[in-house]
Amino acid sequence: MGRRKHAAGFWRQARRGAAAVAILVLLSACGAAGHRATGTSDEPLVLRYADYTSAQSGDGFRAFAAEVTERTGGRIGFDAYWGGSLLTGTDMASGVRGGVADLGMFTATYYPSEFPVTEWLSRLGNLADTDYPRGVMQANAAQADFAMSSEEVNSQFENRGMKLLFSAHPITNYDILCKTPVTTLADAAGKRIRSGGGMWDDEVRALGMTPVSLSIGETYEGLERGVIDCTLASPKTVTSYGFWEVAKHYTNLPLTGINAQYIVINQEVWNSLPVEDQRVIWDAAYLWFQGYLEYEGLGLEKVLVDTGASKHALKFHDPEDGLLTTLKNHHASVRAALPSLAPDRIESPEQMLRDYEKTMGTWHGRLAAMDLGFEGTNGRVDFTEYAAEVRRTVFDRYRP
């Protein structure tokens, strides 16, 4: 089956400077050396993976790497560079394209002008269910399905020297964490919130809140000192940055999440591999996808709920109808305006939007029919049916 086609064709300046120097040096070396297509068990082909997040989130990658190494008899190995030690989030596109890294985790919203299609699609990061765990699993499967089947998305990477392996929806939606309960429009009115800029500024303004420009690293102190009353929140930000120590009220308000995570490999490297090695990498990529989902999507949610309540006295709230309806109306107005904001290269933006929504709906139905072996927040998800369905309908469709 072919791809859908609608178109014609927190690091400081010193660290960024050091990364830039490293890129220049490595680009020169990589350009001179070229790419070795195959390895042997005695002299394996070692592919460099760059990630701006911590190694703690890397179980999915490690499962992928181990599978590739085992299935190739040790002919292909990997070196992983975590925490932006090789490439930061803002360096990733140029670094993978230029050969500083062979693979990388790419967040498209860092490059809105260079990758306008994925930037435009990021405004649809609010369509999945909020039910746990099905909504998280729906969001990730649908995002991978749509991205891997979209000619526009794939061409955007291929035209810049990268091959898409898969896509993820790491934050199904943002919530809000506040120092006092916020469940109504009256509660929200005038609250100062660290929102992250862009579309999130517009969302919180629609709720009567005042966005404040703070980096993620400044948010803890901002809450502690009363510079802000609230922050956009996700399981990862609350648990990783310790926000639950200084703000105790978590409202499950479905603000737009992040659907712009892409795992890419240098196109030259990919093209140089024998097809049997491409297939090994492609097949193993599902393990990476699932591992990432288990940690980022499901595992951190469980930590937030269990540890937040038991150790940090975190209180969870649901929004009242007025607050939720106002947010949904704002999302609807954004969706209605999207066709007029589409990049020129998209010939039929309305059709592309319908396809995205249809894909999300398809995975809603599939998840509803699956037995996940899950009961309550203390249950464990059985991935058997999910893994088979995602492999069959997504990864196997585009296998080399």
- Map tokens 């990529």 to a residue: 285
pLDDT at 378: 53
**106 beta partners:** 262
pLDDT at 44: 92
pLDDT at 42: 77
The torsion angles phi and psi of 347, rounded to 5 degrees, stand at -75, -35
17 falls in which pLDDT band (50, 70, 90)? very low
Domain 174-256 has CATH 3.40.190.10: yes
Question: What CATH number labels 20-169+259-307+330-398?
Answer: 3.40.190.170
Q: How large is the average pLDDT for residues 219-238?
A: 97
Rounded to whole angstroms, how far apart are CA atoms 288 and 341?
Answer: 33
pLDDT at 36: 56
Q: How large is the average pLDDT for residues 342-352?
A: 95
164 falls in which pLDDT band (50, 70, 90)? very high
**Residue 23 in this model has a pLDDT that exceeds 50:** no
Read off the pLDDT of residues 106-140 as tens digits, 9 standing for 90 and up.
888 888 999 999 999 999 999 999 999 999 999 99
Dihedral of alpha carbons 344, 348, 353, 357, sign: negative
Residue 263: CA count within 13 A, CB half-sphere: 23
Cis peptide, bond prior to residue 133, ω within 30 of zero: yes
Q: How large is the average pLDDT for residues 184-200?
A: 96
241-253 b/e (C-beta count within 10 Å ≥ 16 → b):
bebbebbbbbbbb
**Topology agreement, domain 20-169+259-307+330-398 and domain 174-256:** yes
Rounded to whole angstroms, how far apart are CA atoms 183 and 324?
Answer: 9
Out of 49-63, 199-213, 373-387, which region has the weakest mean confidence (pLDDT)?
373-387
31 falls in which pLDDT band (50, 70, 90)? very low
Rounded to whole angstroms, how far apart are CA atoms 295 and 302?
Answer: 10
pLDDT at 203: 98
Q: How large is the average pLDDT for residues 164-174?
A: 96
Rounded to whole angstroms, how far apart are CA atoms 144 and 384?
Answer: 18
379 falls in which pLDDT band (50, 70, 90)? low
Read off the pLDDT of residues 257-309 as tens digits, 9 standing for 90 and up.
999 999 999 999 999 999 999 999 999 999 999 999 999 999 999 999 999 99
Q: How do the domains of the chain map onto residue ranges?
A: 20-169+259-307+330-398, 174-256
**50 beta partners:** 81, 104
Q: How large is the average pLDDT for residues 179-184?
A: 99
